[in-house]
Amino acid sequence: MTNMLTKQFGKKGWTPERIGSLKGKTYVITGANSGAGFEASRILLSKGAKVVMMNRNPDKSATAIEALKLSLGQHIDVSFIQVDLGELGSVRTAANELLNLTPSIDALICNGAIAQVAKQQITVDGFESQLGVNHFGHFLLCGLLFDRINESKGRIVMVGSNAYKMGLKRIKFEDLNFDNKYTAWDSYAQSKLAQMMFGYELQRRIKAAGKNVEVQVCHPGASRTNLLKDTASTFNKILWAVMSRVIAQSAEKGAWPEVMCATEQGLQSAALYGPTKRANTVGPVDQNKLDSIALNQDMAAKLWTLSLDKTSLNWLL
């Protein structure tokens, strides 16, 4: 079983060398001004694709675009739309702007995330911040862009995390915001489990409805990115700074799973792609063993209904 899981792309795993020309294709990436999202943008642009970054910070986005143009040339087609995934109103505005500017979407890569928020924070819409940004923001964005992606016979890529199989290993429906006992780790784990469960539920609903959207789920492993910089406790920042020198791979390699899921043909459904060594933290990119909790259909259906309600989204799928 293990060999089957890790040998879809041979001993070296998937690498960007497998990508041909992406001329004429459009990729939308959330959280693309640094880390894996930035590196994914760079790889896709280097293959001739158009990339639309959906980021919160205009200044950092301008700097990122400047860096990409210096690296790849002024001719690259890269643009920016401002979005705060922690505000549903901002997501709706950004989705409208994107639909007005972008006639086709070959893949929406749900890469943006916040992690290990040290003390409980609640979004303007009343969600625990990690669940709000990582799941509800992306859920709404996917729903609003779905028809355009379907018309394009495109893809949705969920960038999850190994944290999905840690923490409580369930959605805490009775206390979604962890009001009773907040911990940075359990709330983050819940947010990534929710995001991945949504991905697999979306796969099932698309299949039942006969739609033309492919959904893939991946994770970056342990990568040297800025994910914890703004949100984690001082202790966790120091711990990660030390550990990352030993166990982590580059942000570029952390981007490979999401780029693969956006471009590669013949990927499996109900699968999880990411690094395959050292408990799936580093190494060749291929299929990982998937914990059954992510495929719990009862919990996923309940989460779907709840997400429609919380985001006031009319998504008939």
Is 164 assigned a catalytic role?
Answer: no
- Sequence-distant (6+) residues with CB within 8 A of 170 are 190, 193, 293, 299
Residue listed under structure tokens 């009862």: 298
- Sequence-distant (6+) residues with CB within 8 A of 35 are 223, 225, 226, 227, 251, 254
CA dist., res. 100 & res. 240, Å (int): 41
Q: Which of 27, 164, 182, 188 is catalytic?
A: 188
Q: What is the DSSP letter of 226?
A: S
- Sequence-distant (6+) residues with CB within 8 A of 203 are 215, 269, 270
Structure tokens at 187: 């709330």
CA dist., res. 16 & res. 291, Å (int): 27
- As to burial, measured by CB atoms within 10 angstroms (0-12 exposed, 13-18 middle, 19+ buried), residue 208 is exposed
Strand 282-288 to 107-110 pairing: unpaired
Indicate the SS3 state at residue 51: strand
288, 5 contact by CB (below 8 A): yes
224, 249 contact by CB (below 8 A): yes
In 77-213, beta strands by DSSP E? 78-82, 107-110, 155-159
Point out the residues that are catalytic: 188
